[in-house]
Structures are given as C-alpha cells and as structure tokens.
Amino acid sequence: MATGFTLSVYPWIYLARFETDNGWTERYIEQPHRSPSEEAAMDRAEFRDLLLKRNTIEGLPVVNLTTQYGFGVFEGLKALPHPDGNLYLFRPDRNANRFNRSMAGLKMPAYPQDMFVDAVKGVGRKNLDLGFAPVYDHAWEKDDFTAGHSMYMRPFTYSEPAIGLGMSSEPWVIIIATLVSSYFRPGSSSAVTTTRIRAVPGGTGWIKCDANYVTPILAKKEAEAAGYMEAIFLDAVEHRYIEEGSSCNIFFYLKNGKLVTPELQDTILPGVTRSSVLTLAQDMGVETEERKIAIDEVMADAKETFVTGTAAGIAHIESVTHRGKTAKFAGGKMGEMTRALLKELKGIQYGTIEDRHAWMVRV
C-alpha cells in the first residue's frame, strides 16, 4: 500500500514555458515507461533506473533561481477514483487561482488559470489511459476513505538559468502525477507548539512558495523526534496566537459549539481544504469563526482539534502540548464533529455523497 508521497512519477508530464516574445507555450511529454504490471514485476535496481530516467526532463537548467534560492511556487491537488471508474479532480479552479496569485506574488508572469485546469485534467487523463491511476476500492469505505488512494498532481515552477539574486521572468511550469495514500503515519496524533517561526507579517506566508517549507520541515521533524505527529506554529509578533500546523491549516471545535480557524492574514496560506471545511460545517448548521485564537484559549476551551490540507485531508489531533502542559481532546480519539466533516468531505471527493457544490471535475 502506498503511504504519503512517492517518487514513482507517472509517465505523462506537462511542461509549459513563458517566453517574453511568445507568451506561454505548452506540451505534454511521455517519459520512459512499461506497463504498470511490468513495472510492478521489475527488480528494485531496474525500477530505480527507470524512475531516474522518468524524473529527468530535457533542457532544464541546473543552476537557476529555483535550485539556488528556492524561488518558485507549487501546488498540490488530487484526482480521486469514483465507483463509476472515472477520476475526478477536487476543486482545481481554486488551486489554479492560488497558483496564479502565488506566481504574481513572486513577480513572475502569472500562469493563466484556464491553462492550469486544462493541463491537470490532461495529465490525469493521459496517465489514466496508460493504466497509471488508482482504481476505486469499496474497502476504503470502511474507514471513511482515510486509507483511500488518489492521483496526486504536483504543478510547480522552475526558473530560467541564473546565479545572482533576481526574479524569474521566463519560468517553466511542470506538472507531474504520482500515487498517494495516507499522509500521516499510523500511531500518535498528538501535536506540540514550536518556537520556530513559519512566516512574518509582510513576508511570503500567504504564497505557496518553495522557501516557505524549510522551517516547517525542520519543526515537524523535531516534533516527530520528540514523539509527536505535528508541530504547531504561533504568530511571529506576540508568540501567542495559533497560525498553522507544519504543512496544514488548523481548526478547533470549542466547548461553546463554534468551529474556529485562524483568520487569513499574509502569514497564513489560504487552503482549499480549509475553505471547503468551512462550507461543509456551515451546511451542517455549525457556527464558524475565522479569527485570531490564542493557544491559551485552545488549551482551556477546545474539545476537538484537527488539521486540514490536500495531502492530509482532515486529520484529528488527539492532544496539544504547550510549554510542558498537555490538553487532550475527545478522550484522545477522533471527535464526532471531526468525524462528521471527514465523512462528508471524503464522501464527496470519492463520489459516494452528492457533490452539491459542484466541486468535482472529471479529468
């Protein structure tokens, strides 16, 4: 079973390039591959060599603003298998909008949103036609699709050759696809606050850019080494208000029946799953709030806590530890509200619940 991300990139890759004189040009590239069954039967060394060839794209410079300074942006979205045998993307228009805004935020030529949606559909469809795609499994329904497989799409930018400090004016956009399953490892679902700072006011915290992920990776690995699943970031100014998890937005279901998530500022990434969860909660008649929420309020008044993201979906947090004190939620298990939102979100994504908001787009 696949867990998290893998480097078993599917054969069809999308490549677009912005050139000052010609604007955006695009093409699909079929990388070296055999049939899925033949690849599954390969020995480890042979398969690794094949993947190395598949992950190499012609003509891309080694030394550039992306490889040297992390100057680039990326997205993550899923194409999910449905019982009808087709694959459906979850809200690709929202990813397209964020990708466009992220590129503009780094003063790159913004990638058109309609090109983005058409390209991710094309990558999904072409790989599906080769047999490189997950197939719906009714067994996933038993745990509300927490172990369900999907085709993960990773669109990202790559700059033109450069070695000095500068901005990218003629970037590439590349889209690859791979198989993904559960993001978090089984076991503890506890979290701990970190003294590291993810983003500062006036910075790039609202942009899904490469460089933003260095500090969260360090914080998450430090948390895991201490026996926790997740790290939680506080604000950069007062070190009091919760902002995000290491790579996820975060929610708190309070004892007063309100569902609260930190309000969007320039230090917080506007998550697609975050927005969707707010909508689903409101559909259920739950009062939602987007506002500042202090760690002390969470420790005293939260009865359920969970994180959201494309890879994570909805993942409950059994406890939060802050400065040596621990608050446990819902008896250390997934709470009723978290479970209800998880079932609704995953059911829509995997086609077992009515898509009343028209979020799913067939590849």
pLDDT values of the chain reduced to their tens digit, one per residue, 363 residues: 344 667 789 999 999 999 999 999 999 999 999 999 999 999 999 999 998 888 888 889 999 999 999 999 999 999 999 999 999 999 999 999 999 999 999 999 999 999 999 999 999 999 999 999 999 999 999 999 998 999 999 999 999 999 999 999 999 999 999 999 876 666 679 999 999 999 999 999 999 999 999 999 999 999 999 999 999 999 999 999 999 999 899 999 999 999 999 999 999 999 999 999 999 999 999 999 999 999 999 999 999 999 999 988 999 999 999 999 999 999 999 999 999 999 999 999 999 999 999 999 999
SS3 201: coil
Q: Does residue 359 lie within any of the structural domains?
A: no
Please check whether residues 88 and 197 belong to one and the same domain: no
Q: Which two tokens stand for residue 203?
A: 């910075």
Asked if residue 356 is part of any domain, the answer here is no
CATH of the domain at 40: 3.30.470.10
Residue 363 lies in a domain: no
CATH number at residue 195: 3.20.10.10
Within a domain: 5: no
- Let me know whether 34 and 82 are in one domain: yes
Residues 251 and 272 in one domain: yes
Residue 27 CB neighbour total at 10 angstroms: 9
Residue at a domain's end among 180, 206, 239: 180
pLDDT of residue 298: 98
Taking the mean position of all CA atoms in its chain, how far away is CA 98? 12
338 and 252 in a common domain: yes
Q: Does 84 reside within a domain?
A: yes
Residue 123 shares a structural domain with residue 217: no
* Residues 128 and 211 reside in one and the same domain: no
Q: Does any domain span residue 1? A: no
Q: Within a domain: residue 360?
A: no
Longest pairwise C-alpha distance within the chain = 61
Shared domain for 147 and 243, answered yes or no, is no
Residues 261 and 202 placed together within one structural domain of the fold = yes
Work out how many domains the chain is built from and give that number. Answer: 2
Q: What pLDDT score does 1 carry? A: 37
Q: Considering 139, 155, 180, which residue would you say is the last residue of a domain?
A: 180
Instruction: Please name the residue that has the structure tokens 């008896």.
Output: 331
Residues 150 and 288 in one domain: no
* Spatial distance between the Cα atoms of 233 and 195, rounded to a whole number of angstroms: 7
DSSP string, 281-345: HHHTT-EEEES--BHHHHHHHEEEEEEEETTTEEEE--EEEETTEEEE-GGGS--HHHHHHHHHH
* pLDDT per residue as tens digits for the range 343-360: 999 999 999 999 999 999
Cα–Cα separations (whole angstroms), residue 210 to 59, 73, 113: 21, 6, 20
Do residues 31 and 152 share a domain?
Answer: yes
> Within this chain, do residues 216 and 165 fall inside the same structural domain, yes or no?
no
Range of the domain at 70: 12-180
The last residue of one of the domains, among 180, 212, 236, is 180
On whether both 198 and 345 belong to a single domain, the answer is: yes
In a domain, 298, yes or no: yes
